[in-house]
Every structure is written in C-alpha cells, then in structure tokens.
Amino acid sequence: MEDKKTIIYIMSNQRSGSTLIENILSKSPQIVSIGESFLLGGYIHKTGPGSSCNWTCSCGDSLDDCTFWNSVYQRLNISNAREIKNTKIVYPKGKDIDYQKEQNEDVRSLMNLIYKAFFDITDCDVLVDSSKEAFYGVSLYQNSPYTFKFIYLKRDLRAVTLSKHKWRKKYNKKNIGLIKLILANYRHRLQCKLMLRKVDKEDVFNLSYEEFFKDPQLVLNQMSDFFGFKTFDMPEFMELSNDHTIAGTPNRFKKRRIQYDDQWENDSKKRPFFNALGFMLNKLG
C-alpha cells in the first residue's frame, strides 16, 4: 500500500545543512535517501550543478552505470537513464505556460514512480528527498499518493551567506557583495514561507540548524515521533555508506565528524554592519 509510505522532503536554502540531515536520517534501516531528485535530470545529462564530482551517483558510478539506478530504470520500464529528460518542476510563466504545466505534471508522475521504485528495491518505508527547492517540494506534496511531510530547515543567514560567498570564490563564480547576498538569502526565506502557506501546518517539521546542534539526539527523537520512524542512535560521523544519492554538498565524499561549525561567527564579527543586519533579519523569521 503506497499510502503507508512516507516522503520526508527537506526544504531549505543552500549551505544550510540539508545534506547532513539527509545523511543522518539515511542511517536508519527504515529510511532511504534519494538526495536531490530535482537535479537527477541534470546529473544524467551532465549539465548544471554537479561538475565538481562529474555528476556521478554518490556511489561513484555514473548514472548510466550505477547498478542501483539501473534497477530503478528497469522498474520505470525504460532501457537507459537518458530516456529521463527533465526532473525539474518550475513555476510556470511566460508564453508557454500551458506547455510548462504539462511538463510539470509529467515530472510529478515520473517522480512518484521513482519514489515507488526506491521503496520496492530497498524495502524501506520512508524516503528522504533533500532537493531543497520550495516550489518543487510543494508541487510534489499536492495530491501526493504518499504521506508527504516537510522538514523546513533554517540556518543563521550570516552563516549561509559567508559559506556561499566562500564557495562562490572556490568555484570561480561571479563575486556578489555580502550585503547583496544576505538580502537574497532573506528573500529566499520569504519565498519558502510563502510556499509553505500551501502546506498543512501539521505536515511541517521546523528545524533550526543551530538548535539541532544543541542536542542532536533530542531533535532526532522528535523527528522520529513526527515522521513515524523508529529512533536510533545519532551517528558520530557524516559519511556515505551504500548510498545512491543525487547531489548534495561537495564535501559529502569525505568522512567527517558531525559537529557545529562556529568559524563563521568570527568572520561575521569582523564585519559589524553585515553582522548586525544578519542578526536583525534572523529575528524577522
């Protein structure tokens, strides 16, 4: 029965710890993670985010070669990955609005079949999708054949901004000033909140990255109650183990101790205006 299965969708900004939360949850024998399904099409066709790992599955194989994903394709009755063209649901606008809506509907059906394949192959009854995207998540939520719930994950806007700033430099992206960047991150929060208005409050688990680190086991137990999986011991490390996930933080291939990273706090204090603005924007919600 499909309605017994649960999807946990992580909605958040980038650099907010979504890969960490996804990785922790996937340590339960009841839970399987798909990673960021929104980027699956991009990973198959090697376009968009993911070039740093050559768009491979987290097992290290390409989406053409991964044995796990090949059993997914088999269940979709397709002979190879390339038959999957697009896995993004985007807000329909412009002159091709009807076509866009149709496309979105196709992606929704495809994703429900992929979720089903994951459940069938792994025998898990909970699946984590860490796509983050607000519109995509809410579109999959509406009329979902599954019990579909959200983790709305928020992290201090200053931490998100400084981290994004650092990664943009590392990947030679266009430099955006910190003030502009923090305002954009605040706007992102407003967009998430707007989208969450379409979701039943009882289906949303609000999670603060900072609160999580105060007592990870406690928060994990709360999530277990909320989503209905058996609780388990909080893992010490973030590491991949037999995962076949799409995308996530570029750090994910390295085994790392799970701990709060407070490095940004000093960086932020060196910039009093940025620091104060961030403090205020955090308070606004």
Q: Which is nearer to Zn ion, 21 or 66 (CB)?
A: 66
3-state secondary structure of 268: helix
Residues constituting the chain: 285
3-state secondary structure of 1: coil
d(CA 182, CA 187): 9
- Quote the strand ranges of 15-108, DSSP E: 31-35
Q: Which stretch binds Zn ion (CB under 5 A): 59-67, 132-140, 174-182, 221-229?
A: 59-67
Q: Which is nearer to Zn ion, 56 or 222 (CB)?
A: 56
Give phi and psi for 7, each to the nearest 5: -105, 130
Q: Which is nearer to Zn ion, 61 or 125 (CB)?
A: 61
158 scored as a contact of Zn ion (CB under 5 A) = no
> Total residues at the site for Zn ion (CB under 5 A)?
5
In terms of Cβ atoms closer than 10 Å to its own Cβ (0-12, 13-18, 19+), residue 73 is: buried
Give phi and psi for 49, each to the nearest 5: -60, 140
Asked whether the beta carbons of 220 and 234 are under 8 A apart, the reply is yes
Amino acid at 80: N
d(CA 55, CA 44): 7
Hey, what are 96's tokens? 């091709």
Q: Which stretch binds Zn ion (CB under 5 A): 38-46, 66-74, 152-160, 164-172?
A: 66-74
**Helix or strand run (H / E) with residue 182:** helix 178-196
Q: How far is the CB of 204 from Zn ion (least distance, A)?
A: 30
Interface mask toward Zn ion for 14-53; x: CB under 5 A:
----------------------------------------
Q: Which is nearer to Zn ion, 34 or 110 (CB)?
A: 34
57 scored as a contact of Zn ion (CB under 5 A) = yes
Report the residue from 11, 66, 81, 238 that binds Zn ion according to the rule CB under 5 A: 66
Q: Which is nearer to Zn ion, 188 or 244 (CB)?
A: 244
59 scored as a contact of Zn ion (CB under 5 A) = yes
Q: Which is nearer to Zn ion, 68 or 227 (CB)?
A: 68
Amino acid at 133: E
Per CB under 5 A, contacts with Zn ion among 221-280 are 244
Interface mask toward Zn ion for 187-226; x: CB under 5 A:
----------------------------------------
CA atoms within 13 A on the CB side of 149: 23
121 scored as a contact of Zn ion (CB under 5 A) = no
Q: Which is nearer to Zn ion, 57 or 178 (CB)?
A: 57
Q: Interface with Zn ion by CB under 5 A: which residues? A: 57, 59, 66, 68, 244
